[in-house]
Chains A and B, each alone.
Chain A
Amino acid sequence: MTNQVQDVKMSDCIMICGSNAAENHPITFKWVEQAMNRAEDPAKLIVVDPRFTRTASKADIFAQTRPGTDIAFFGALIKYAIDNNMVNWDYLKTYTNASFLANPGFGFDPKTGVYSGFSETTDPKTGKKKKKYDTATWSFQMGADGKPLKDPTLTNPQCVWNQMVNHYSRYTPEKVEQICGIPKAKFEEIAKAYCSTYENGKSGVLMYAMGLTQHTYGTQNIRTFAMLQLILGNIGMPGGGIDALRGCANVQGSTDFALLFHIWPGYNPTPNSAKNPTLDAYNAARLKAVGSAYWSNTPKFMASYLKAQYGDSATAENQFGYVWVPRIKDGVNYSHIALFEAMEKGDVKGLFVVGQNPAVGGPNSNQETAAMDKLDWMVVSEIFNHETPNFWRRPGADPGKIKTEVFLLPAAACGEYEGTFSNTGRVVQWFYKSAEPKGEAKKDVDFFSLLQQKLVELYKADAKAPNRESVVNLYWPYGDDVNMEAVLAEINGFNWATKKRLKNFTVLAADGSTACGNWIMSGVYPEEPDYPGITDPDPAKAAAAKASFAKTKGNLAKRHNNEDTGNVAIYPKWCWCWPVNRRIIYNRGSADPAGQPWNPKKNIEQWNGTKWVSVDVPDFKATDPALPGNPPVAPAVSAANPFIMLNFGMGQLFSLASVADGPFPEHYEPIESLFKNEMNGMQNDPMAKIFSDSPNDKLAPLGDKKYPIIAGTSRVTEHFQSGTMTRNMPWLVEMQPNMFVEMSKDLADRKGISNGDWVKVTSIRGETEAVAVVTDRIQVLEVSGQKTDVVNMPYHFGYMGYCTGGPNDISYAANQLTPNVGDANTTIPESKAFIVDIEKA
């Protein structure tokens, strides 16, 4: 989230697309309702979704849309804002790259559906087609001073603004009706309500989840909305921003700590062994790629991270052990889908599964279980015995032919250990242990700590072991029962010589004198009490801040003061928020170029004529730390650099080459679709990641008559993810006992299906059975003049546990039906739009 959860109550209009917030984020939805039930100027709630959900039941405006058509819809909102002059011009001209001149070679051709620089080649060996963009023209015209040329009048046809106006001129309400199935009048009702937040002082927010991201153009879905938010002036505003509702309690934390393959902790890209052979080369490439002066700090973040990784072994001479950390081989994808494809080919021999159930939750789960058959060994650490460690006895498998050795270890459950959760709004919150783990159960970190100690012992004994230094040099002094607060100290960062914890990342050094496990988390656990409040001129407030600091011994994630300083839902003393306790990122956007808040009731940063008065921690240069006494910096300076971490310090209407499938998002069809792309000449996102090596990687061709129904997967309040925990909880199973599929009454009639019947749902990859929930909450859509059926299934069920989802000895996992195709940028699987057929079981 750019903002935090509680901030939603400051909003004037909340649009929820591709998220079922009320069901899957019930606590976040509480703040949506607070905004809607405000006595003065209550907020409007708009819900756009393929079905009428419990979230939609609370909406002022609901529109049913065809899965996978969000860019057509958002692009039309951009056009609507432009056509109706619903633009925050001051914001747009000053804070975004609207006035920058794009490279004259840049362009998009609606006939071919691709941007400039596209090429398609065929591999003579495999016969496979390879699509590629040369992104040289996805750039700005540069002046002699190394800065982009600009046209502040926005009249030059090459400027980003006019390029964008031209690009979205095709995105008419008629196209929305034709592609999404949203009637024109309904679209206009939504557009008018949402775009009215362009007015000074109003703010609108988008809340989204996997309904927007799990597409081959998921990144572009979000980017389209980010562009709309910049046009309306909603980024940086209380009640504005883009709010990702993360899928589980600490998934924000796991992303911050690089659970994904393409980043290191703190979102530094994983080094590429060919492109970044040395640390210096990496640092230089990073600065060049982002093009913001801020990233000249990269060497400090990197050296401190490596120091935390390798301790005394990390020295300036050996680049702090840079080459010991595994790096990406050029051109290789290590995402979840790619790993399981490599496993099926026999390239991956062993697998650790901790807190995940890919036999149910993985995309194309039949492919994933087939891949597990090829493993030598699998280690699963879990609180319940679920489908993945039992993949060898899944319905239809022959255990006698599977040689994989499986080790199942008992994990401690949440509540049996302490640590931090980072919530969806980046707030890092300490949680406490309330019970001892049962039997031999261990917290995950203890399991890995024991494993690390054993590996170090084995590697030390073997002088010829490959990558020996990577293992034996690790700095990990935490023993068998890891003290989580000691780990938090390492994450926060400390001075290597004195071991004193650091204030925050501004004091990190590039010379190896500081260690810091994750720079964005630096400041969560400082040694010295110098966070805001301690230096308050009011002695009472300063004393209270000191007392608070003493109470948590500096661990700011333990703070529980819910005082709403400034009455703008900032709550600066509630736990701690990365970075540097900043609750709203890009918050320079909350004030006009002269430093006055767009709305006095949403005042978080204000220039009082001599200095900045801040409720939130400024995300811009408010004072100059380089000068003695840290004098205030006038608003004009930050107005010229409001997005300090982004390219040229500006909000990016035009994304340069940082997004693989184009600087402006364009509508493409899902890989499996019933419809031809009506917006341009290219059917699918040309950069989509399509996997085809496994026999299970089947894709239904365009408009396949055997699969005439559009399907998507989803979740319900009563179950969580792959159901590992919730399907073993009788009180929850009682409420949602069976796998089900929601469908329209019209479709059920045509198929001879009655409400409550068991039906079989089939895609080209697999099938499962489900109870038909026949409902008015899904209507037949009219798309391109054609009646179109949409159905939806939860993906919580499987074949193990107290509840599997049904009475038969089959797998009730919906993901047996979903394809191994991924987003062009992140490779997240396309689970939200594929095609199926349904018949009575």
Chain B
Amino acid sequence: MAEEKAILVDTTKCTACRACQVACKEWNQNPAEKTKNRGSYENPPTLGSYTWMRILFNEYYKDNKMSWLFTKHQCMHCTDAACVEVCPPNATTHREAKLADGTVVKSVATDPKLCIGCNYCRVACPFDVPGYNQKKKGIYRCTLCVDRQTGDKPGFTVPACVKVCAPGTLSYGNRTELIAKAEARVAQLKAAGYTKARLFGVKELEGLRYMYILTDEPSAYQLPDNPSIPASVKVWKTLTKPYGAFAAGGVLLALILNGIINARNRGLEEKFKLEQ
């Protein structure tokens, strides 16, 4: 099997400068959202169709000791991806792009032409990621900068967020090499007294394309301690999806229902903006 590419997030080095957050918007030409300070540095308040990654600020004050943990939050591009499993029209799929060095980039993406806007993926995602865009009619998320990695745009190779990371939090490379590097770092952290240091994302959901070096439980970083696909999704997958013809009929039904769903989505998409 070809070696695949991944991104390692060493949260111990992150200073939340958010250059990655701006670089993501800049590369993908996503517009700024109208936000307000809600008593935190964290903004925009959620991921969405115009915000594909953001930094989470997690404050903890325990035993007279302050800690401020930062999480880079975006689509994890799971191997066992709930959004792919649940998608009725198969708009969300696993993609694979071959690179010149013989490795591959595996990612999860949604074809906006096939997306019916049911938003099942948003409900099913254990990381609360996909963002639906009413205007563009589709689900949008981190692309892993596949367009940079494949060399489609000359002069760019490394994903935008990794490229701008000054403190060395983000590294991009071959997955097995990143895992080896991360394990050495975890050992160094443990020796330095971080007893809870761990690597997150190697086994979770059969492997995430973003892996995290943490010094505490994942929940301290607003990551699920044991990410899993909801049971209902599994039921959907085993019972409904095999009946292709039925599903095709379902698509027809879905198209009829599309208007109703879209009307609901208008509310979902604009929800936090209305809160402003």
Contacts and interface: CB of A to CB of B under 8 A. Distances in A.
Interface of A: 22-23, 26-27, 29-30, 33-34, 37, 39, 42, 52, 54-58, 62, 716-718, 730-738, 740, 754-756, 771-777
Given A29-B167, A775-B59, A776-B66, A734 B35 contact: yes
A54 B192 contact: no
Nearest to A55: B15
Given A33-B13, A756-B37, A735 B166 contact: no
B148 to A, nearest CB: 19
Contacts of B67: 57
A57 B40 CA distance: 15
B37 A22 contact: no
Contact of A771 (B26, B37, B68): B37
A793 to B, nearest CB: 12
B17 A52 contact: no
Contact of A776 (B35, B61, B70, B192): B61
Nearest to B62: A776
A777 B34 CA distance: 27
10 contacts: A23-B15, A26-B17, A26-B166, A29-B15, A717-B17, A717-B18, A730-B31, A735-B43, A771-B37, A775-B59
Name the prevailing secondary structure of the B interface residues.
loop
Nearest to A37: B13
Given A730-B31, A731-B25, A776-B61, A26 B39 contact: no
B59 A771 contact: no
A841 B26 CA distance: 36
B19 interface: yes
A22 B17 contact: yes
B42 to A, nearest CB: 9
B8 interface: no
Given A30-B166, A33-B168, A776-B61, A734 B43 contact: yes
B13 to A, nearest CB: 6
Contacts of A733: 32
A728 to B, nearest CB: 12
Contact of A57 (B15, B18, B35, B37): B15
Contacts of B22: 731-732, 735
Interface in B118-142: none
B160 to A, nearest CB: 13
A776 B39 CA distance: 12
Nearest to B169: A33
B117 interface: no
Interface in B91-112: none
B38 interface: yes
B158 interface: no
Contacts of A62: 66
A interface, by DSSP: helix, strand, loop or mixed?
Answer: mixed
A777 B66 contact: yes
Interface centre among A22, A735, A772 (most CB of B within 10 A): A735
7 closest A-B pairs by beta carbon, nearest first, are: A755-B39, A730-B32, A756-B39, A776-B61, A738-B37, A22-B15, A57-B68
Interface residues of B, number: 35
Nearest to B50: A734
Most buried by A among B31, B40, B168: B40
B32 A54 contact: no
Contacts of B38: 755-756, 771
A58 B67 CA distance: 9
Contacts of A52: 66, 68
A734 B33 contact: yes
Given A738-B36, A740-B37, A27 B61 contact: no
Contacts of A732: 22
B66 A771 contact: no
A736 B55 CA distance: 13
B18 A718 contact: yes
Contacts of B44: 734
A433 to B, nearest CB: 19
B59 A777 contact: yes
B156 interface: no
A455 B228 CA distance: 75
A134 B249 CA distance: 98
Query: Taking each of A56, A62, A718, which has the highest tally of chain B beta carbons within 10 Å of its own beta carbon?
Result: A718
Contacts of A26: 15, 17, 19, 166-167
B39 A772 contact: yes
A175 to B, nearest CB: 22
A30 B66 contact: no
B21 interface: yes
Contacts of A773: 37, 39-41
B226 interface: no
B188 interface: yes
A756 B44 CA distance: 15
Contacts of B35: 734-735, 737
B16 interface: yes
A737 B66 contact: no
A62 B37 CA distance: 26
Contact of A54 (B16, B31, B40): B16
A740 B31 CA distance: 24
A733 B18 CA distance: 12
A628 B38 CA distance: 73
B178 to A, nearest CB: 16
A736 B41 contact: yes
A30 B167 contact: yes
Given A26-B17, A54-B68, A776-B66, A33 B167 contact: yes
B216 to A, nearest CB: 13
A42 B39 CA distance: 35
Interface in B148-188: 166-168, 188
B14 to A, nearest CB: 9
A736 B31 CA distance: 15
B61 A771 contact: no
Nearest to B69: A57
A137 B6 CA distance: 68
